[in-house]
């Protein structure tokens, strides 16, 4: 077995995410997306989300089929990968604590 010199790490070691870790991150983003669906349109607008994400959230509200709704929530999770989830969580907490109405 080849050993690495002390204090040096491969770039691959620091960037590697297991399949399970990626799935858990995706589920967390989907859960965050489901929370966004429960907000009013006015509250969503105050968060400064991209237009594509806003339209995907509006579409989820119109879908009645369970499986179609689930797929759309997954799509919202995919869109949210491009955004910093910490900012969204901060905005959600501010809204939930009563900082912003409608």
- Give whole-number Cα distances, 37 to 33, 69, 71, in Å: 6, 11, 14
**CA–CA separation, 29 vs 25, rounded Å?**
6
* Confidence label for 21 from pLDDT (cuts 50, 70 and 90): very high
pLDDT tens digits, residue range 37-60? 999 999 999 998 999 999 999 999
Going along the chain from its start, the domains and CATH numbers come out as: 19-96 (1.10.60.30)
CA atoms within 13 A on the CB side of 48: 8
Confidence (pLDDT) at 15: 79
| CA dihedral sign of residues 40, 44, 45, 51 | negative
Rounded to two decimals, the pTM is 0.73
For the chain, report the end-to-end CA distance as a whole number of angstroms. 61
Confidence (pLDDT) at 18: 94
Tokens of 92: 């959600």
């Amino acid at each position: 077995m080849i050993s690495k010199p002390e204090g040096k790490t491969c770039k691959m070691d620091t960037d590697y995410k297991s399949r399970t870790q990626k799935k858990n991150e995706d589920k967390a983003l989907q859960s965050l997306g489901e929370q966004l669906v429960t907000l009013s349109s006015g509250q969503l607008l105050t968060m400064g989300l991209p237009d594509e994400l806003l339209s995907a959230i509006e579409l989820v509200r119109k879908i009645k089929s369970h499986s179609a709704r689930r797929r759309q929530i997954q799509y919202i999770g995919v869109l949210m990968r491009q955004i910093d989830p910490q900012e969204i969580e901060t905005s959600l907490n501010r809204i939930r604590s009563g900082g912003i109405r409608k």
